[in-house]
Amino acid sequence: MSDALTDGRRFRLFNVIDDFNRESLSIDIDTSLPARRVIRTLERMAAERGMPKCIRFDNGPEFISCLLQEWCESRNIRLLYIQPGKPTQNAFVERQNGSIRRGLLNAYLFSSLAEVRIMAEEWRMDYNLERPHKSLGYLSPFRYAEKYYQSRKEDLLLYPQAVTGKPLQFEGNRFVDKIVEKQIDSNP
């Protein structure tokens, strides 16, 4: 995703979202976002939250680089790439990109990268803490995760903040695979 400052300089945004609760984990902004910068962002997030089991990317050059692939392989992170021309395969990020475009990039004129970064972080916190999502039962991403982890006693050891009421600071990996249970009839 990209936009331009008032002086015409282009900048790019690297958005990371958690598919489980639609939480915006990071919005990295700079004039260039090569693979090394993507890795630096992922390392920062891993230090804060733990390594994910899987990451889904589009086919941008920074994401298909050997450097990023090697980094993921060395950490046992599975890489998934959407098919070219099929942005719906990464629908959560695409929806967030549209929200960022409407609520931030089209709403303001920016004169510096620092200004974009400050406003993007404010937007991200509002998105995570205040903005309800229909698909999450009209809860914000943080409230949805809080409700989810409060309802699962076995997860309370990993997420003690759900019991203490302290602000959520997620730890570990929260990617959840969908499990489909097949009902077996006892009558043949």
Per-residue pLDDT of the chain (188 residues; tens, 9 = 90+): 899 999 999 999 999 888 888 899 999 999 998 989 999 999 998 888 888 888 888 877 777 788 889 999 999 999 888 788 887 777 788 888 889 999 999 999 999 999 999 999 999 999 999 989 898 999 999 999 888 877 776 655 655 554 454 444 444 444 433 333 334 444 44
Beta bridge partners of 16: 26
Give the relative orientation of helices 91-100 and 113-129 as an angle to the nearest 10 degrees.
Answer: 120
CB 17 within 8 A of CB 92: yes
